[in-house]
């Protein structure tokens, strides 16, 4: 079976076979998390990760994937926490260490509590001006997320990869900058920031990158 989360901007599915799929309805972009865990962006392998990782989407939705040990220094996606403001849902039983235990716990009205009680891990921000994701390294630099970036910042791969306070400050700056970019596309941003956006993928028009706010939500379990 698979769990389905859907709002106006995204469709997110999680199966009991180590997979999480994110579809951006506005841009047509797809992010597929599968295996131990690999990440494909628009059908092409982009990077792997090991520890808890959060994918921050353009409309403010956070998809936090918690992993479990799969042996041989590998991990599997196991629990998925999806939050946006006061709405939240937790999908458990995604990994194949045990089959048939896929479960949804909806936290409507308790999304912020769900968010606060679960670590974000390594935070990756959906790129509003191109393909893929952006991240903030230990020096506060905005970078395109690729395997080299993950190797330096994954909190399980590197026990002290990134000070949480440093990442939080960087994440807050990146989120605020991207909100400014989405809301005021004509605003003049720093050359370094625009360069990071450009390096991360092809630019897109403002009409295709419009990040409408979170609204209608649908959650169900399909068999």
How high is the pLDDT of residue 196? Answer: 45
Q: For a pLDDT cut of 90, what percent of the chain falls above it?
A: 61
Q: How far is CA 118 from CA 1, 8, 62, 63, 198, in A?
A: 25, 25, 12, 11, 32
CA 81 to chain centre: 10
Kindly report, residue by residue over 130-176, the tens digit of the pLDDT. 899 999 988 888 999 999 999 999 999 887 555 555 555 555 555 55
Neighbours of 206 (CB within 10 A): 12
Q: How far is CA 20 from CA 31, 37, 97, in A?
A: 8, 10, 16
In this structure, are residues 60 and 84 in contact, taking their beta carbons and an 8 Å threshold?
Answer: yes
d(CA 161, CA 19): 26
Classify 198 as helix, strand or coil: helix
Which residues in the chain come in under a pLDDT of 70? 160-223
How high is the pLDDT of residue 206? Answer: 38
How high is the pLDDT of residue 81? Answer: 97
How high is the pLDDT of residue 72? Answer: 86
d(CA 178, CA 167): 16
Q: What is the CA radius of gyration of the chain?
A: 17
């Amino acid at each position: 079976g698979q769990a389905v989360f859907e709002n106006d901007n995204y469709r997110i599915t999680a199966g009991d076979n180590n997979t999480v799929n994110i579809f951006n309805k506005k841009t047509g972009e797809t992010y597929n998390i599968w295996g131990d865990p690999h990440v494909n962006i628009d059908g092409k392998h982009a990077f792997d990760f090991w520890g808890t990782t959060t994918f921050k989407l353009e409309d403010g939705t956070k998809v936090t994937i918690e992993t479990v040990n799969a042996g041989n220094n590998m991990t599997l996606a196991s629990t998925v926490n999806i939050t946006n403001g006061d709405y939240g849902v937790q999908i458990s039983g995604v990994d194949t260490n045990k089959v048939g235990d896929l479960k949804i716990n909806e936290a409507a009205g308790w999304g912020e509590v769900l968010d606060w009680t679960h670590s974000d891990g390594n935070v990756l921000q959906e790129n509003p001006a191109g393909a893929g994701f952006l991240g903030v390294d230990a020096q506060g630099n905005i970078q395109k997320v690729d395997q080299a970036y993950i190797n330096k910042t994954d909190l399980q791969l590197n026990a002290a990869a990134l000070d949480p306070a440093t990442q939080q400050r960087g994440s807050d700056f990146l989120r605020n900058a991207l909100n400014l970019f989405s809301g005021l596309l004509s605003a003049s941003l720093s050359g370094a920031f625009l360069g990071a956006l450009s390096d991360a993928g092809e630019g897109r028009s403002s009409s295709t990158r419009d990040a409408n706010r979170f609204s209608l939500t649908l959650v169900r379990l399909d068999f």
